[in-house]
Structure 1
């Protein structure tokens, strides 16, 4: 199944089912929202007990595309999880997943603006596959990990590299400005897609920067979910960003950065596309 949500950032959202032909059906009569309370199976149960054809068709024209699920309690990230990106960065392939966080307040819609602060000097992009957790996971095996996955999303793991790499402290400092985590447009359930071999891309002002595939991920989805559950309890609705292929601005020679007015477009095969304009505060 595929799901979307529409609505203003701070207002109520309309949850929708995306049919195979692209038709959007309003799920509001069945569920209040797509989030922790419904990702664990209640959403699918509600749909299996209903006549989808009787649900209202939504016209998306003029509507803001919201993230496909409500704001997560936690946003987790995996660093250097693509072999070709590690090579680009001149760093060894990690022996274990490198974990860090983004603030939950970075969460925004797939087409919302990328906010540019006057203090920024090295704003960068990262197209990533996102995992959405369906139910709590603690000390689970790789064999059962997919039982805890609600679906997959496109993520732009936006980074301010000077804050991340040149200031004291952890990476979270360069990862947590508002709108640094555009998500969506769709949440796609695991039965719809093989995430082990999906093309992924990112353009800046129409110029291709990233052109990769999930096939070069060092740690796959079950490994990441199981590994993380050794150290923390993953909660329903949590988002895990799984790393990026080569082509980030920090890896270029000379390095390239986003500045106000630039437009970033990105996507992952079968998961949809995003568009953001860099906008000064």
Structure 2
């Protein structure tokens, strides 16, 4: 099934079930007021939501309305936890090679992960507002999964059973702020503003055979200002699958229902498939020519991130955002 949230009913939105073709929706507030509430009672809520989804697609649900993506908040407008990995090692290897650094052996056996911003997510049509272009504005096209309650110290095999939803994220990065922050040895903060989530999240069964081995085996397509930027295969070159990432995050703590776990920037060994972030594209240029050529994003640029099924249908809807200047508070 496909689930989204309208920009109404408070900070956590109002839960809706969305049709398979993303054209229609029906309120689900009689089952759960918000997606967060549904995830906290997933064993009871999921069968009822799935029945409503079947009724909607069959054309006999009550209260159906045409879906307007501009009216959608992020499916989880805020979450208790967002942890983001870096599971695509071709990206890590290239970035390090471009600056003459070796990849530590541990990176091949132990996932990279950091605690990301979760207090608020941008909706799929909300602008990305940044104070200055000098910050080095970048997108990161990624896949995320959402869990129910995950016990501490689960194995990857156990963690797989706690993955309930799959979606996309534009994990916005301010690249020129990152080096100074990492040099402090304490991780990202100012360089990681709020991210945007896809219009809907879907249950893994909705993905058919594209979801296997706890990976999503489809290209993730990015356009900048209407021009193709990249379509790397998400199921290829992923060193750690989502079950391994969830288990890594839960090694020493439980994860609350609604926890979001990200894949990191999608990247392939085959650079002809393009990039999912400007940092990747600039790194490839550096390795090929000795210096980056493509600048980071500017105010007015339009980002579009989408994944299509084998028949060319949008699965999650598109994240489509314009980069805008944020004026300082008066």
TM-score, length-scaled by structure 2: 0.76
For the pair 1:113 / 2:113, whether they are aligned, the reply is no
Kindly name which structure, 1 or 2, has the bigger radius of gyration based on alpha carbons. 2
CA distance in 2 between counterparts of 1:210 and 1:16 reads 31
Query: Cα distance, 1:10 vs. partner?
Result: 5.1
Which of the residues 167, 187, 190 maps onto 2:201?
187
Which of the residues 143, 149, 153 maps onto 1:129?
143
SS in 2 for 1:71: coil
Query: Cα distance, 1:124 vs. partner?
Result: 0.9
CA distance in 2 between counterparts of 1:153 and 1:55 reads 26
Query: Cα distance, 1:37 vs. partner?
Result: 4.7
1:22-61 to 2 correspondence within 5 Å? 22=22, 23-39=24-40, 40-47=42-49, 52=55, 53-61=60-68
Which of the residues 145, 152, 163 maps onto 2:166?
152
In 2, are the aligned partners of 1:137 and 1:148 still within 8 Å (CA)?
no
CA distance in 1 between counterparts of 2:247 and 2:200 reads 24
CA distance in 2 between counterparts of 1:197 and 1:219 reads 14
SS in 2 for 1:172: coil
CA distance in 1 between counterparts of 2:90 and 2:11 reads 41
Distance 1:203 1:166, change over 3 A: farther
SS in 2 for 1:145: helix
How many residues of Structure 1 are paired with residues of Structure 2 in the alignment?
278
For the pair 1:201 / 2:227, whether they are aligned, the reply is no
CA distance in 1 between counterparts of 2:51 and 2:307 reads 31
Question: What's the RMSD between the two structures over aligned residues?
Answer: 2.4
Query: Cα distance, 1:235 vs. partner?
Result: 1.1
Which of the residues 116, 137, 140 maps onto 1:102?
116
Distance 1:54 1:224, change over 3 A: same
CA distance in 2 between counterparts of 1:137 and 1:110 reads 31
In 1, are the aligned partners of 2:69 and 2:199 still within 8 Å (CA)?
no
Higher relative contact order, structure no. (Cα contacts within 8 Å, ≥ 6 residues apart): 1
1:276 is aligned to 321
SS in 1 for 2:264: coil
Distance 1:129 1:84, change over 3 A: same
Unaligned runs of 5+ in 1: none
Query: Cα distance, 1:61 vs. partner?
Result: 3.6
SS in 2 for 1:4: strand
In 2, are the aligned partners of 1:127 and 1:200 still within 8 Å (CA)?
yes
2:100 is aligned to none
In 2, are the aligned partners of 1:260 and 1:280 still within 8 Å (CA)?
yes
Distance 1:184 1:21, change over 3 A: closer
Structure (1 or 2) with the greater helix fraction: 2
Distance 1:33 1:10, change over 3 A: closer
Structure (1 or 2) with the greater strand fraction: 1
TM-score, length-scaled by structure 1: 0.89
1:17 is aligned to 17
